[in-house]
Structure 1
């Protein structure tokens, strides 16, 4: 990113990322016993994109992908949860520099760091922000929205912890390490 401008690469990543988020949310979600809540694989992909492209891309992919998925799937957008998808993408993206996935190294320390960040981001979003906004915006009953937020948060933590970690490990293996070349004699 140069100055206040997004690179073309980041803009394309946001568009493709939002499209993949929609596809995963629509076709790779597992129904749950909690009403209007499902186990989403889309957040693992969101975490990958946020770590690779940073917080702005992560936030916009979460915002655009979730909003369009709601509009397509339900005919209206549930803004409180869309806001959380944006927050989760943004907060995970803030860890991108610390994780430095482009170095090709995604060791145990980085895996732990990634998972601490994603658990904090999702806990903040799903346990606090989503239920509070559901109550404030939609006048939903507190017991219902806190149960939904708890289930969504825990299931997203698990899917990102497993699938997101595997995606990042696989991505890191595609990057060349700076000391990976050796001189032949």
Structure 2
């Protein structure tokens, strides 16, 4: 695993954060539960985390969610911002054996990635986010655990569907390793 960010990673964090903010802010589907939406941005976060690793994934999720909160609400909801960063980090770790640059994303890799992203989303949104809401903001447990369970489901779907489709499309756009031959 890489120990530091390279220039391309820093550029990816900047561009990834900008796209994440736009998706997070403007392509959100309301669920009917306050402050809980289906966010396709998490599917994009999956792609960026797999391509650039856990540190870049953390930074894109953390910075992107922070900017979205400040530009939308005028303040930040730190518990969920932290969780967006943790999700980016987790997706980067889960995807570390996937090399989309080689032009392949096998069915086995997709299944492995999606099993573990479900586990990560469960831990983050059903466990960490509600506990942080209670500790930081003294929110009522029934409210934040309801939001957490719903967020787990919608974020799992966003990563599983949008993230997998984006990774598959990206891999298909790359030249497969060994596919070129010398005449």
Q: How many residue pairs align between the two structures?
A: 183
Contact 2:94/2:117 (<8 A) preserved: no
Contact 1:37/1:148 (<8 A) preserved: yes
Structure 1 runs of 4+ aligned residues shifted over 2 Å read none
Which residues of structure 2 form unaligned runs of 5+? none
Q: Which residue does the alignment assign to 1:13? A: 12
Q: State TM-score, norm by structure 1.
A: 0.95
User: Could you say what the CA RMSD is over the residues aligned between the two structures, in angstroms?
Assistant: 1.4
Alignment of 1:78 onto 2:48? no
Aligned-partner Cα distance in 1 for 2:65–2:96: 25
Q: Which residue does the alignment assign to 2:118? A: 119
Q: Which residue does the alignment assign to 1:177? A: 176
Q: State TM-score, norm by structure 2.
A: 0.96
Alignment of 1:143 onto 2:142? yes
Which residues of structure 1 form unaligned runs of 5+? none
Cα displacement (A) at 1:183: 4.4
SS in 1 for 2:97: helix
SS in 2 for 1:39: strand
Map residues 94-113 of structure 1 onto 2, 5 A cutoff. Answer: 94-113=93-112
Contact 2:17/2:63 (<8 A) preserved: yes
Q: Which residue does the alignment assign to 2:66? A: 67
Contact 1:127/1:146 (<8 A) preserved: yes
SS in 2 for 1:15: helix
SS in 2 for 1:11: helix
Cα displacement (A) at 1:97: 2.5
